[in-house]
């Protein structure tokens, strides 16, 4: 029987994945349903997926499952069957298959039990997450987008919205979903009788957000079925015009899927049009930011001159500096404020030249 967690180094697993010859399929899915024993559910699914060489990130809670994974193409249907066999609630589960996919999205399977599959901060016992808004498929989304009495509300983070969003969508300016929910209610307080269309990457956040808006007295709440991923797939398959512009940020090594050719964001260091996210190469920073090829070369993949200089130090000194640093620069930091605090020192010369 396989162990219930990985015991091989990340670098070794990554090299093994890159050496694979069979193509992989990247997919994502979620389902809200009651799991009486999340730990047992997790362990059973882990055993099944290790045998199928599944890689990815999976969260399991009493309220359901949320997953982004990759699987060898020849084993895709067997993965589907493991889900159907795990619980009757997963019998008609929609699997969102990635658009731009080289199969190199993950190289290890991480499956965790958590209090919630998406952290929402809701502690109101009267809240019913099953009372969700109306689902909209691609053609219905486009019809709604043309109506003046309709507001599209983006329930993703600032770095996701920045590179792509639905036409005229409202951004909820917060760094976390738990902060966005009450903020969305406050921002839209005077629009309770309008059509409110919530959307997100794959549907998990906007589905819960739609329930929260109904809980707070909004009358006409909708959400995009399957999120941006499913909308783009259906719209392209049906030959519909795309009302989403730019790139869809995704939470794996690709960091984005292109939906349209439009580039609506800019390099955070020099300001040229660019929508390529990267993480600062300085492991003591790892800030997520947008960097063009020229700045990537100039700053050696770093977000600032400070990080570039630190990266050039002997490894032992890098570690010593990180150990003494205040907890202001966290690994994979994606906050809007951290972006503001870190980048100006790097882009002064470039912006003055423009």
Which tokens hold the place of 62? Answer: 């009493």
CB 132 within 8 A of CB 218: no
Give whole-number Cα distances, 100 to 9, 54, 106, 223, 318, in Å: 27, 19, 14, 24, 36
Q: Which residues are identified as catalytic?
A: 200
- From 44, 29, 39, select the one nearest 61 (Cα to Cα): 39
Dist. CA 119–CA 174, nearest whole Å? 14
The confidence score (pLDDT) of residue 2 equals 47
Instruction: Give strand pairing partners of 65.
Output: 31, 60
The confidence score (pLDDT) of residue 222 equals 97
Run means of pLDDT, 10 residues per run, the chain, 354 residues? 56 63 87 93 94 93 92 93 90 82 76 90 88 95 96 94 95 90 95 94 91 94 93 95 94 84 95 94 88 96 91 83 54 53 49 38
Helix (H, G, I), strand (E, B) or coil at 162: helix
The confidence score (pLDDT) of residue 60 equals 96
The confidence score (pLDDT) of residue 324 equals 58
What domains does the chain contain, in order, with CATH numbers?
Answer: 10-113 (3.30.70.100), 134-246 (3.40.250.10), 277-353 (no CATH)
**Whether this model's pTM surpasses 0.85:** no
Using H for helix, E for strand and C for coil, what is the string for 4-50? CCCCCCHHHHHHHHHHCCCCEEEEEEEEECCCCCHHHHHHHHHHHHH
With 0-12 / 13-18 / 19 or more C-beta atoms within 10 angstroms meaning exposed / middle / buried, residue 27 is buried
């Amino acid at each position: 029987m396989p162990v219930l967690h990985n015991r091989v180094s990340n670098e070794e697993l990554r090299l093994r994945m890159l050496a694979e010859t069979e193509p992989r399929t990247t997919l994502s899915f979620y389902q809200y349903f009651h799991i009486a024993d999340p730990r047992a559910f997790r362990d059973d699914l882990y055993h099944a997926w290790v045998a199928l060489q599944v890689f990815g990130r999976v969260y399991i809670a009493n309220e359901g499952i949320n997953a982004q994974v990759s699987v060898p193409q020849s084993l895709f249907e067997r993965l589907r069957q493991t889900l159907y066999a795990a619980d009757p609630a997963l019998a008609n589960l929609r699997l969102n298959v990635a658009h731009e996919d080289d199969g190199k999205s993950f190289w290890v399977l991480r499956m965790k039990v958590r209090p919630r599959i998406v952290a929402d901060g809701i502690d109101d016992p009267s809240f019913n997450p099953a009372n969700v808004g109306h689902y909209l498929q691609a053609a219905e989304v486009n019809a709604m987008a043309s109506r003046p009495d309709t507001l599209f509300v983006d329930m993703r983070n600032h770095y996701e919205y920045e590179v792509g969003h639905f036409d005229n969508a409202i951004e909820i300016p917060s760094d976390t979903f738990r902060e966005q929910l009450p903020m969305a209610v406050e921002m839209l307080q005077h629009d309770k009788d309008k059509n409110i269309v919530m959307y997100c990457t794959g549907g998990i956040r906007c589905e819960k957000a739609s329930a929260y808006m109904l809980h707070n007295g909004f009358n006409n709440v909708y959400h995009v079925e399957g999120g941006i991923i499913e909308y783009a797939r259906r719209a392209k398959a049906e030959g519909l015009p795309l009302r989403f512009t730019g790139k869809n940020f995704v939470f794996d090594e690709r960091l984005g899927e292109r939906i349209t050719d439009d580039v609506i964001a800019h390099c955070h260091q020099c300001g040229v049009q660019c929508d390529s996210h990267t993480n600062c190469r300085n492991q003591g920073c790892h800030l997520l930011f947008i960097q063009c090829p020229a700045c990537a070369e100039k700053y050696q993949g770093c977000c600032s001159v400070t990080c570039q200089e630190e990266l050039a130090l002997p490894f032992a000194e890098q570690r010593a500096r990180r150990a003494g640093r205040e907890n202001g620069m966290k690994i994979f930091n994606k906050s809007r404020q951290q972006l503001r605090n870190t980048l100006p020192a790097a882009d002064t010369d470039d912006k003055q030249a423009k």
